[in-house]
Amino acid sequence: MNAPGTRCVSTAGPDVPRADRRKPRRRKKRDFRRLWIVRLNAAARERGLRYSQLIAGLEKIGCELDRRTLAEMAVVDPTGFDAVAAAVRQALGVPEPAAVA
Protein backbone atom coordinates (compact mmCIF):
# COMPACT_ATOMS: atom_id res chain seq x y z
CA MET A 1 0.00 0.00 0.00
CA ASN A 2 2.01 2.91 -1.28
CA ALA A 3 -0.86 5.33 -1.86
CA PRO A 4 -0.66 8.70 -0.10
CA GLY A 5 -3.90 7.97 1.73
CA THR A 6 -2.12 5.46 3.92
CA ARG A 7 0.26 8.10 5.30
CA CYS A 8 -1.17 11.55 4.64
CA VAL A 9 -4.12 12.76 6.70
CA SER A 10 -5.25 15.30 4.10
CA THR A 11 -5.69 12.66 1.39
CA ALA A 12 -7.05 10.01 3.74
CA GLY A 13 -9.82 12.37 4.87
CA PRO A 14 -12.40 11.51 2.19
CA ASP A 15 -11.96 7.80 2.83
CA VAL A 16 -13.14 8.04 6.44
CA PRO A 17 -16.78 9.02 5.70
CA ARG A 18 -16.88 6.39 2.98
CA ALA A 19 -15.80 3.75 5.47
CA ASP A 20 -18.39 5.04 7.94
CA ARG A 21 -21.12 4.61 5.33
CA ARG A 22 -20.21 0.94 5.00
CA LYS A 23 -20.43 0.24 8.73
CA PRO A 24 -24.24 -0.04 8.89
CA ARG A 25 -24.28 -2.47 5.99
CA ARG A 26 -21.81 -4.74 7.72
CA ARG A 27 -23.69 -4.33 11.01
CA LYS A 28 -26.99 -5.24 9.34
CA LYS A 29 -25.57 -8.57 8.15
CA ARG A 30 -24.30 -9.31 11.65
CA ASP A 31 -27.60 -8.36 13.28
CA PHE A 32 -29.68 -10.52 10.96
CA ARG A 33 -27.45 -13.54 11.56
CA ARG A 34 -27.86 -13.02 15.33
CA LEU A 35 -31.64 -12.79 14.90
CA TRP A 36 -31.75 -16.03 12.91
CA ILE A 37 -29.68 -17.81 15.55
CA VAL A 38 -31.94 -16.59 18.36
CA ARG A 39 -35.04 -17.74 16.48
CA LEU A 40 -33.51 -21.12 15.71
CA ASN A 41 -32.45 -21.62 19.31
CA ALA A 42 -35.96 -20.84 20.55
CA ALA A 43 -37.59 -23.14 17.98
CA ALA A 44 -35.09 -25.93 18.67
CA ARG A 45 -35.64 -25.74 22.42
CA GLU A 46 -39.39 -26.05 21.91
CA ARG A 47 -38.62 -29.34 20.18
CA GLY A 48 -36.19 -30.69 22.77
CA LEU A 49 -32.92 -29.68 21.09
CA ARG A 50 -30.31 -27.02 21.63
CA TYR A 51 -29.11 -24.75 18.83
CA SER A 52 -25.72 -26.43 18.76
CA GLN A 53 -27.35 -29.86 18.51
CA LEU A 54 -29.59 -28.64 15.70
CA ILE A 55 -26.67 -27.32 13.64
CA ALA A 56 -24.52 -30.41 14.33
CA GLY A 57 -27.40 -32.69 13.37
CA LEU A 58 -28.08 -30.76 10.17
CA GLU A 59 -24.45 -31.20 9.15
CA LYS A 60 -24.60 -34.88 10.06
CA ILE A 61 -27.65 -35.59 7.88
CA GLY A 62 -26.24 -33.47 5.05
CA CYS A 63 -28.96 -30.83 5.10
CA GLU A 64 -27.81 -27.70 3.28
CA LEU A 65 -30.51 -25.32 4.52
CA ASP A 66 -29.00 -22.09 5.80
CA ARG A 67 -29.90 -20.31 9.03
CA ARG A 68 -32.05 -17.76 7.23
CA THR A 69 -34.21 -20.43 5.60
CA LEU A 70 -34.48 -22.48 8.79
CA ALA A 71 -35.46 -19.44 10.87
CA GLU A 72 -38.15 -18.51 8.36
CA MET A 73 -39.35 -22.12 8.29
CA ALA A 74 -39.61 -22.17 12.09
CA VAL A 75 -41.91 -19.13 11.99
CA VAL A 76 -43.92 -19.71 8.80
CA ASP A 77 -43.98 -23.52 8.51
CA PRO A 78 -43.72 -25.10 11.99
CA THR A 79 -44.72 -28.56 10.75
CA GLY A 80 -41.88 -28.53 8.24
CA PHE A 81 -39.48 -27.46 10.97
CA ASP A 82 -40.85 -30.27 13.16
CA ALA A 83 -39.86 -32.74 10.43
CA VAL A 84 -36.36 -31.27 10.23
CA ALA A 85 -36.01 -31.39 14.03
CA ALA A 86 -37.22 -35.00 14.09
CA ALA A 87 -34.63 -35.97 11.46
CA VAL A 88 -31.91 -34.22 13.46
CA ARG A 89 -33.07 -35.86 16.69
CA GLN A 90 -32.99 -39.28 15.03
CA ALA A 91 -29.52 -38.69 13.55
CA LEU A 92 -28.11 -37.62 16.91
CA GLY A 93 -29.97 -40.23 18.95
CA VAL A 94 -31.66 -37.62 21.12
CA PRO A 95 -34.89 -38.92 22.69
CA GLU A 96 -38.24 -37.23 22.15
CA PRO A 97 -38.97 -34.51 24.70
CA ALA A 98 -41.48 -35.39 27.40
CA ALA A 99 -44.95 -33.97 26.86
CA VAL A 100 -45.69 -31.00 29.09
CA ALA A 101 -49.12 -31.13 30.71
Average pLDDT over residues 88-93: 94
What domains are there in the chain, each with its CATH number?
Answer: 19-92 (1.10.1900.20)
Residue 37 Cα distances to 31, 43, 52, 74, 89, angstroms: 10, 10, 10, 11, 18
2 or 76, greater pLDDT: 76
pTM of the model: 0.78
pLDDT band at 2 (very low <50, low <70, confident <90, very high): low
What is the CB neighbour count within 10 angstroms for residue 74?
23
